[in-house]
Amino acid sequence: MTKTKLITTADIKHLAKLANLPLSPERLTQLASQIETTFEYIQTTQNTDTSKYLETNQVNELSNILREDIVDDSHTFTQEQALQNAKQTHNGYFIVPAILE
């Protein structure tokens, strides 16, 4: 009985082209094998019978562990303080070099 491959070298080559990743034939084969192994593991976990276990989404029984969102004025700057060391500002904003065309 032959096993159907979940992902092929051609699939990896196509994904590499979409991602603009230059990959050697050896690397394509290696990645296909590694991803195939990962998919097989995922398939194994999907086929595992978990019916005897209770569903959980929080295993340590903690709830509402986040702190209140309270502004601590001792850790805030005024606008003037925040801008005082800036090389350039305009109307209360930092001016920085553009990084996108």
Q: Supply angle C-alpha 48, 49, 52, rounded to 5.
A: 140
Strand partners, 93: 90
Please write the tens of the pLDDT for every residue from 12-34. 999 999 999 999 999 999 999 99
Number of structural domains (the chain) is: 1
- Domain around 31: 9-46
Q: How many whole angstroms separate alpha carbon 18 and alpha carbon 54? A: 41
Q: How many whole angstroms separate alpha carbon 30 and alpha carbon 38? A: 13
- Residue pair 36/12 in contact (Cβ under 8 Å)? The answer is no
Residue 40: inside a domain, yes or no? yes
Residue 28: inside a domain, yes or no? yes
Please write the tens of the pLDDT for every residue from 50-100. 888 888 777 787 777 888 888 888 889 999 999 999 999 999 999 999 998
Residue 98: inside a domain, yes or no? no
pLDDT given for residue 28 in this prediction? 93
Residue 35: inside a domain, yes or no? yes
Residue 78: inside a domain, yes or no? no
Q: DSSP H helical segments within 7-101, as ranges? A: 9-18, 25-46, 79-83
Residue 27: inside a domain, yes or no? yes
CATH number at residue 34: 1.10.20
Going from the C-alpha of 83 to that of each of 73, 77, 78, 80, 86, the distances in angstroms are 17, 9, 9, 5, 5
pTM of the predicted model, to two decimals? 0.47
Three-class SS state of 86: coil
Residue 39: inside a domain, yes or no? yes
Question: Is residue 1 pLDDT above 60, yes or no?
Answer: no
Residue 89: inside a domain, yes or no? no
